[in-house]
Structure 1
Amino acid sequence: MKTNEKVSNYIKLCSEWAEKFLQMDKEELKKRLPELKEEDGYLKITHFGVPFGIRLDDGRIDRLDGKGEANATEMLNIYTLLGYVRENAFFMDKWVPFADLRDARPFGPAYKIGVTDVFAATFSGHAKKLKEAFLKLNGTELPQGDVGYQINAFECEPMRFYFWDCDDEFEAQGNILFDYSATDFNHVESAVSTAEMGVKRLAELAGLPLRGKSFGMQ
């Protein structure tokens, strides 16, 4: 599929989700996702450190920090969170790789190529910049890896990123762990795009271009 066709399909999907949002029970959403704040005509939420607002009048999503517009990946991650969060979903503190999430295995090969391989390639030789990017997201340092931090995709969805830099014998490697509850809060395919967005945000904060075969959603 051509890139412009992909973008068109994503925009259409976002429009469909905006319509779905208008039919959602907003009070129930706020119970399921206490991080949602109703202010200024929005339901506000933070995604990898960036504030967004879902308009209560038409369901569209705005980026609220004045630094551009929300892209399709960000919007779909937010919409699917609202659409798929289960009643009584809760953080389990049970950390697993993507392949061990419920129903994730069919997406494993594409996830590796489009997310963890991109993460490793992008930050190869740039461990210091990666650490600085995590600190900009108020990350919590972890003991494993050359660089290891926990950051929030959403308040309900923390993630753990681990990076081992390249040396004379080995290429750089990266891994990302999810809490096992991730698929109680969102669709398993959205775990892929959420991790992808995390890598992209870290690259932006580090001032580095993405390297590797990313999925390319805008």
Structure 2
Amino acid sequence: MKNNISNYEKMKNHMAGVFLQYDQERMIQKFALEHDKNYIYIPFVGRRYRIDRLKGTVTWSNDFFQTEEKADYNEVMTIYDVLCYSKENCYLADEWVNVGSLASIQGGTLAKGNDFFQNAGQYFDGKTNKLARACEILGGRKIKKGDVGYELALFPFLPLSLCFWESDEDFPASLQILTDKNILDYMHYETLMFAITHILNRLKDECEEG
């Protein structure tokens, strides 16, 4: 029987091998990561993940790895990219910018007015209480912007802010994602899309469970 593996799984397996080619001690020191001889641990959007230091595979757990789940494509690609490809001396500018205004991604999937954010805005319309609760479950810190505004830790060293406005008689619902001005020193543009997609999926899941 032929073993059908999706292209996403193939890419995950490939990137696990790529990860193993990088200096793990260097990334541990760079981002002050918890580790032991078998795993590197990294918090990501309110969950605890670990990377197998011999296999390169990524899993997550909510119970200190008494049980664990395989990380999906968006999760692993974001984690690998930040650990392996972030610039050597990356640092936060401490200046928030809308992801759509980053010069190098004008016209990209995350550009202002793109369906990516319009669809998310429509989904959360009428769900402000559920969205706020979901942000808090993900470890968010409330900020005074929008009808719902939270700063979320993409990683402990890399924050992101979500701002949502409900629709009214004049304007449709609006969702904005703000990142540090230097976000692309930490990850590629395509990876930023994976990371934001992951966050929005997590928030939708929590809204549906709440």
Deviation digits for residues 153-192 of structure 1, max 9, x if unmatched? Answer: 1112211100001223332111000101211111111111
Equivalents in 2 of 1:119, 1:192: separation in Å? 13
TM-score for the superposition, normalised by structure 1: 0.84
Cα offset, 1:82, TM superposition: 1.4
| Distance 1:54-1:114 versus aligned 2 partners, 3 A rule | farther
Is contact 1:102–1:183 with CA below 8 Å preserved after alignment?
no
Cα offset, 1:206, TM superposition: 1.6
Q: Give 1:166's aligned residue.
A: 167
Q: Which has the higher helix share?
A: 1
Is contact 1:22–1:59 with CA below 8 Å preserved after alignment?
yes
Over the matched positions of the two proteins, sequence identity in percent amounts to 28
Cα offset, 1:142, TM superposition: 1.3
Cα offset, 1:109, TM superposition: 5.9
Report which stretch shifted further, 198-207 or 39-48.
Answer: 39-48
Q: Give 2:21's aligned residue.
A: 23
Equivalents in 1 of 2:149, 2:160: separation in Å? 11
Deviation beyond 6 Å, 4+ runs, structure 1: none
Secondary structure at the counterpart of residue 18 of structure 2: helix
Is contact 2:78–2:194 with CA below 8 Å preserved after alignment?
yes
2:204 is aligned with what amino acid?
Answer: A
* Equivalenced residues, count: 202
| Distance 1:109-1:176 versus aligned 2 partners, 3 A rule | closer
Secondary structure at the counterpart of residue 71 of structure 2: coil
Q: Give 2:146's aligned residue.
A: 145
Say whether 1:57 aligns with 2:54: yes
TM-score for the superposition, normalised by structure 2: 0.87
| Distance 1:109-1:61 versus aligned 2 partners, 3 A rule | closer
Q: 1:45 aligns with which of 42, 45, 63?
A: 42
Q: Give 2:85's aligned residue.
A: 84
Secondary structure at the counterpart of residue 15 of structure 2: helix
Say whether 1:69 aligns with 2:73: no
Structure 2 runs not aligned, ≥5 long: none
Q: Give 2:8's aligned residue.
A: 10
Cα offset, 1:101, TM superposition: 2.6
Q: Give 1:216's aligned residue.
A: none
Structure 1 runs not aligned, ≥5 long: 209-218
Secondary structure at the counterpart of residue 169 of structure 2: coil
Secondary structure at the counterpart of residue 104 of structure 2: coil
Is contact 2:34–2:40 with CA below 8 Å preserved after alignment?
yes
Equivalents in 2 of 1:81, 1:163: separation in Å? 27
Is contact 2:39–2:52 with CA below 8 Å preserved after alignment?
yes
Equivalents in 1 of 2:162, 2:142: separation in Å? 10
Say whether 1:191 aligns with 2:189: no
